[in-house]
Amino acid sequence: MKKLSQKILVLLAIFTWGLLADDFALAVKDYNNMNYIKALNTFYVLAKKGDAKAQYNVAMIYANGQGVKQDSSQAQKWYEKAAIQGNAPAQYNLAQLYHASANNDVHAYEKAKHWYEKSMQGGVSQAYNNLATLYMEGLGVSRDEKKAFELFQKAANMDNHAAQVNVAFLYAWGKNITHDKMKA
């Protein structure tokens, strides 16, 4: 009897997962058709159930004010939920929000650094570039041009154009970098 109950639970979980995946696909379709409210409603139901991709999409809709009034605090709330679950784009966008709010929060740069580092683990090239900027300017970290250069190079090697410009700039005019006009 116990084995039968376990099998039923497994089948129910598989069936439920399939329904959730279908709901997510429908929400994406609604979003792409610019039916943002309908998409938000579906994403929201999934997000409340802990779906990190849905949480990210709820955050994006609030961040961009698509079909709803733009709401940075709602965006931050949902980015954070997705970021904690390892969603790299959410981690990056959360870092961006902290970076932008540094005038209002004395620990914002440290929080931005934390989430940039997390999103770097997920392969977000712009996170390398933005963290390098924190090191270049000594924002929330000790100023370290060499560390910034290493991060810019990693992002540049990932075809990040902003980082490629930053690497060229440092090769041409960096203070603690060996100047190389050919590489610049």
Q: What is the pLDDT of residues 128-144, one digit of tens each?
A: 999 999 999 999 999 99
Residue boundaries of the structural domains of the chain? 1-85
Comparing CA positions, the residue from 75, 76, 61, 62 lying closest to residue 27 is 61
Q: What is the mean pLDDT of residues 13-42?
A: 79
Q: What is the mean pLDDT of residues 117-135?
A: 97
Q: Which CATH number is associated with domain 1-85? A: 1.25.40
Residue 161 is encoded by which pair of tokens? 């154009």
Average pLDDT score over the chain = 86
How far, in Å, CA of 60 to CA of 116, rounded? Answer: 18
> Is the pTM above the cut of 0.85?
no
